[in-house]
Structure 1
Amino acid sequence: MKKTVFNFLLFVFIYIPNISKAQENTNSEEKHHSIQFLLAHTQIQEALNENGEKTWISAPSFELNYNYEINDKWAIGLHTDIVIEDFTVETFSEENNMVERSSPIAPAIVGSYKFCKNFSALLGLGGEFSKEENFALLRLGIEYGYPFHENWELVSNITNDIKFSAYNSFSLGIGIARKF
């Protein structure tokens, strides 16, 4: 698992910029693609402690997002949240089962609408995957992007993952984006 994530990050930060250089030679004005890397904390209100009591936890996580800008206002992308901590939650089934979550990965296909200069609203569907159990989710969010160089942005976001049969979580993240 860790080797796969490392290889993917290596691919993103070494291979993708080389593709962007080739594209700059053909059309240097339009940049439709972006890769984002954010450090985040995922807030889980319905976590369970060792005694089975509900408690609020803040789990460290990171986000790796890809976006394709369709035009100045609309974009579509794959946004992936990876929580790097194990925790226990209660499902919303009739039995109220306790489910252990081992470093869940939550990819979602997300559409975004830029409603003012630097702010975008996010809406998407996806899933949260862990070796114990998988959940479908709806992702809502707001993102802020501040360009600080020709091809780079400082980004921050707040996203809310609504799982259909389990706990909900929200994430606060800050990071960088590379446009190509």
Structure 2
Amino acid sequence: MATAQEHSNSHQHEEEGRHSLALYTGFTHNAGSYFSEETKEKSTGRWVPTIGLDYYYTLNHKWDIGAMTDLELEEYYVDEEEGARTYERTNAWAFIAVAKYKPIEGLGIFFGPGIEFEFKKDIKTESLFVAKIGVEYEVPIKNGWAIAPSLIYDYKYSKDLKFSAFSYGFSIGKRF
């Protein structure tokens, strides 16, 4: 039996649509990373500006599925776990398939796997697997528009390279 709140959410999605598209902006802290003028010993990690685009399809009042893309707008360095090799990460782009659970109205907990690439001409780059988990709180504005502050944790790894990233930011999006 559906509650009045569930019926209200379902009706809202029918009127505004099941699809949503949002532009994300924020900062990502890559633990253990450093800029070229620093050394690993002097750094506690780097905050880099990040933009992204998020798409969701609403399955029901509790679940969405979708995709998140993030682009880190900076160059930084990360050492492999054994410290034998240093990786330069430049404008890293991640694509993540996500599921979002909505335990209460406005609150979304999202998680999913993905991959992070770099686009460098004539240079071999390291692609990383990414496991993402995050939380956001969507605040409706009007006519299907909403703003959503978020906190996100990424675990990035490959055979030789493993590090964590923490992001905060907000999205502005439209349901259609």
TM bucket normalised to smaller: 0.7 to 0.9
Q: Distance in 2 between matches of 1:156 and 1:96?
A: 38
Report the aligned-residue RMSD: 1.7
* Compared CA separation, residues 150 and 51, structure 1 to 2 (3 A): closer
Instruction: Give TM-score scaled by structure 1 length.
Output: 0.79
Q: Distance in 2 between matches of 1:89 and 1:64?
A: 25
What letter is aligned with 1:143? Answer: E
Is 1:101 the equivalent of 2:89? yes
Is 1:119 the equivalent of 2:112? no
- Aligned pair count? 153
* Compared CA separation, residues 83 and 75, structure 1 to 2 (3 A): same
Q: In the alignment, what sits opposite 2:80?
A: 91
Instruction: Give TM-score scaled by structure 2 length.
Output: 0.81
Q: What is the deviation of 1:28?
A: 6.3
Q: Which deviates the most, 57-66 or 27-36?
A: 27-36
Indicate conservation of the 8 Å contact 2:16/2:143, yes or no. no
Query: How big is each residue's C-alpha offset from its partner over 1:3-58, in whole Å with a ceiling of 9 and x where there is no partner?
Result: xxxxxxxxxxxxxxxxxxxxxxxx96251000010211011121134343241211
Q: In the alignment, what sits opposite 2:10?
A: none
Identity of aligned residues (%): 29
Indicate conservation of the 8 Å contact 1:41/1:172, yes or no. yes
Q: In the alignment, what sits opposite 1:33?
A: 19
Q: In the alignment, what sits opposite 2:134?
A: 141
Query: How big is each residue's C-alpha offset from its partner over 1:50-92, in whole Å with a ceiling of 9 and x where there is no partner?
Result: 3432412110111210000001110001101110111111123
Task: Return structure 1 stretches of 4+ with deviation > 4 angstroms.
Answer: none
Unaligned runs of 5+ in 2: 1-12
Q: Distance in 1 between matches of 2:84 and 2:103?
A: 40
